[in-house]
Structure formats: structure tokens, C-alpha cells
Amino acid sequence: MNTEEPKRILIATKNPGKAKDFSLLFEPKGYQVMTLLDYPEIEDVEETGYTFEANARKKAETIANRLHMTVLADDSGICIDALDGQPGVVSARFAGADKSDAANNAKVLSMLGALDNPSRKAHFHCTLVLAHPERESLVVEGDIEGEIAKFPQGENGFGYDPLFFIPSLNKTMAELTGLEKNTISHRAMALKNLEKVWTEWLEKEVE
């Protein structure tokens, strides 16, 4: 039995910002966090699902089967009320396949600007899927409510963080420190839900 395996987890992403988020969450718990940057031979898993869960499950299970190890995949996005829930599952590529954060933010502001006094309510959503070839996958979710700012604010974070304003903190997500963000973010909420069930799951994995 490889006693080290339960302490190694692969985060199915090449996104440095996302990897940093998960490292802040997992490393204090004693996990060695790997990412797809550590496995350049693994081809990108195409996100063809119509739901956050479908995309996260496909990534986690495909890579877990390929590497025969524990893999955590997430699919996250911002859902804006006035845009009928858009960008949703296409948040990362909302403005095009090149996945430009600046272009995505600009498109959101442009679309809202074209509406007559739109609601600026929005929420960040995260679905996490923890997979291993010998286990049934775990699926959990997390959300944080907020609003779309009228212009980007803050230098931290990535994606839509500069636009996502949290009224209770009077800051955008990009104005928070890494530790602050990982206390209240949608990923933090999803991870807290995962923590309620993953210990038994990991223990059974190595029996």
C-alpha cells in the first residue's frame, strides 16, 4: 500500500490563479497539490457539458482513470441575473476561445450597459468532483452571492474577480487577500461541503 497516495491530490487545471486558490485550501491540510502543469503529457479534456457538474465530472474522471490517482476537478462560473444566468458554464470563454479575462469582463459590462437599468445581482458557482478509478465520485457545490460592479476594481484574483462586488465586505473579490477570498469564495464553500464527506471516502480508497 502506498501510504503517500492519500496525501497527494491532482487539481485538474493549468490555470495558475485557480491552482493558487486550491493550494491555499489544501496545503494547510497536509496535501501535496499537483496540477496539470506537472503532467504536460495529459491532453486537455474538452468541456462539452451543459452543466457545471457534467464538465467537472468529465475532467476528474477522465484524468483519474488516466493517471490512476485522486483527482479534483472543478467547474466554476459567474451567473448574472439580468443576463439570464450567463455566462454560466461558458464563463471562461465568454468572449472567445482564447479565454481572455479582460475581454470577458468587458463583454459583461457591455451587455449590462445595453440594458435599461438592469439588476446587477449575480452569484459565483462552483461544482467540485473528486474522483478515483476505484471509487464512486463525490460531487459538491458552493455559491457566493454578490453584484456586478460598474467597473473592474482590485488587483488580486483572476477571471471575473475584479467585477464581483460583495456588499457585506464593500469590496470586489479582487480587492480581497488570498486568505480572505479563500474564507468566503464559492470554491471555499464547495470545499467546506466536500470536507464533510471526503475523509471516509479517502480512507476507503486505500483499504
Look up residue 147 and give its DSSP letter: E
Q: Check the annotation: does 28 bind a ligand.
A: no
End-to-end CA distance of the chain: 8
Q: Which of 54, 2, 7 is nearest to 202 (CA)?
A: 7
- Tell whether residue 181 is among the known ligand binding residues: yes
Q: Determine which helix (DSSP H) or strand (DSSP E) holds 72, and give its type and residue range.
A: strand 71-80
- Whether 158 has a binding-site annotation, put simply, is yes
13 is an annotated ligand-binding site residue: yes
Q: Is 4 annotated as a binding residue?
A: no
Instruction: Please give the distance of CA 8 from its chain centroid, rounded to a whole number.
Output: 19
Beta bridge partners of 132: 135
Q: Rounded CA gap, 79 and 84, in Å?
A: 8
CA angle 141, 186, 69 (to 5 degrees): 60
For residue 87, the 8-state DSSP code is B
- Other CB atoms within 10 Å distance of the CB of residue 15: 17
Q: Is 31 annotated as a binding residue?
A: no
Catalytic residue among 38, 75, 101, 143: 75
Give Cα separations from 197 to 191, 194, 202 (angstroms).
10, 6, 9
Ligand-binding annotation for 196, yes or no, is: no
Is 75 among the residues known to form the active site? yes
18 is in an annotated binding site: yes
Query: Is 161 marked as binding a ligand?
Result: yes
State yes or no: 186 annotated in a binding site.
Answer: yes
Instruction: Tell me: is residue 16 an annotated ligand-binding position.
Output: yes
Please give the annotated binding residues for Mg(2+), written as ranges: 46, 75
Residue positions annotated with a catalytic role = 75
Please give the annotated binding residues, written as ranges: 13-18, 46, 75-76, 158-161, 181, 186-187
